[in-house]
Chains A and B, each alone.
Chain A
Amino acid sequence: MRLLTAFVSGLIFGLGLIISGMTNPAKVIGFLDIFGHWDPSLGLVMGGAILVGVFAFTYAKSRKTSLLGNTMQLPTNSTIDKKLLGGSLLFGIGWGLAGYCPGPAIASLLSDYTQPLIFTTAMLGGMWISSKLS
């Protein structure tokens, strides 16, 4: 059951990314291009997701176990340090360069384009390098 719900969650997540336009790098770059022709659409993607998320996570915080009986694993780390900010800086530069973040890249692998595959391979390589460094 847990596997089925994880699969459906991944699937709905991916469909949301496709419908919202997040899998189109030009759309993402248009959102980040506030000094050019700014396309505010992706602000609404985040807004819509957080609107649902706030209710879900507020309720989740009040529970010790999930509805299927798993431990409720909410992050406890609240430190804002160089690792967090430096990592986010590198991520943001990469995001702006190509217009892909991890979710949309994965949800574009089975499309007509080869670019997401190249990006994803490099991204997994970067994740692997990161795990060897720390």
Chain B
Amino acid sequence: MIAWANFTPVPAFVGGLLIGVAAAMLILLNGRIAGVSGILGRLLQSWGKESAWSVVFVLGLVLAPWFYSLAAPLPEAQIEAGHARLIIAGLLVGIGTRLASGCTSGHGVCGLSRLSLRSLAATITFMLAGIVTVSVVRHLLA
């Protein structure tokens, strides 16, 4: 059943276009992939000549809510997960994205835009895993 009351097509699409513009900028101007988990993971591993741009890219991401709040109040977030679930989820996301060399941005946006089958396989897998997890937590265990 589609929850039409929660459906926000315009902000979703406009936000998506902006994400696309950001990824386009980074590949066309800098020749680099806007994959957030890869950028973070490489920063944690070692400091090298790729690190400076990676740090300022992450800084841009971090400061985005601050810039947003100059124009309008930040949208509210509803966070169901308690501390234990957040920690388990964070560990799984950290380990999983590094094993897979990418997340929603690297595989889901950049990889699919490159028409990469490897990224398509990754995206289908994490989408299905997410759907199954939400179904189990919301409908089987609840």
Contacts and interface: CB of A to CB of B under 8 A. Distances in A.
The interface size bin for chain A is 35 or more
A91 B100 contact: yes
A90 B29 contact: no
B56 to A, nearest CB: 4
Contact of B88 (A2, A97, A120): A97
Tell me whether chain A's interface is mostly helix, strand or loop, or mixed: helix
Given A127-B37, A131-B45, A48 B19 contact: yes
Contacts of B111: 75
A22 B11 CA distance: 10
Given A9-B25, A18-B75, A39-B6, A102 B12 contact: no
Interface string A72-100: 11110111100111111111111111111
Contacts of A101: 36, 93, 103-105
Nearest to A53: B113
Given A9-B22, A41-B12, A85 B122 contact: yes
Contacts of A36: 1, 134-135, 138-139
Interface string B109-142: 1111111111001110111111111110111000
Contacts of B95: 87, 90, 126-127, 129-130, 133
Contact of A123 (B79, B85, B94): B94
30 contacts: A6-B32, A9-B22, A11-B60, A16-B18, A16-B20, A25-B79, A33-B131, A34-B135, A39-B7, A41-B8, A41-B11, A45-B19, A48-B15, A53-B110, A77-B101, A83-B99, A87-B98, A88-B121, A90-B95, A91-B97, A95-B93, A95-B129, A98-B85, A98-B86, A102-B40, A123-B90, A126-B95, A128-B94, A130-B98, A131-B44
Interface of A: 2-27, 29-30, 32-57, 59-61, 65-68, 70-75, 77-80, 83-103, 105-113, 115, 118-131, 133-134
Q: Which 5 A-B pairs have the closest CB atoms?
A: A126-B94, A20-B15, A14-B64, A48-B16, A10-B60
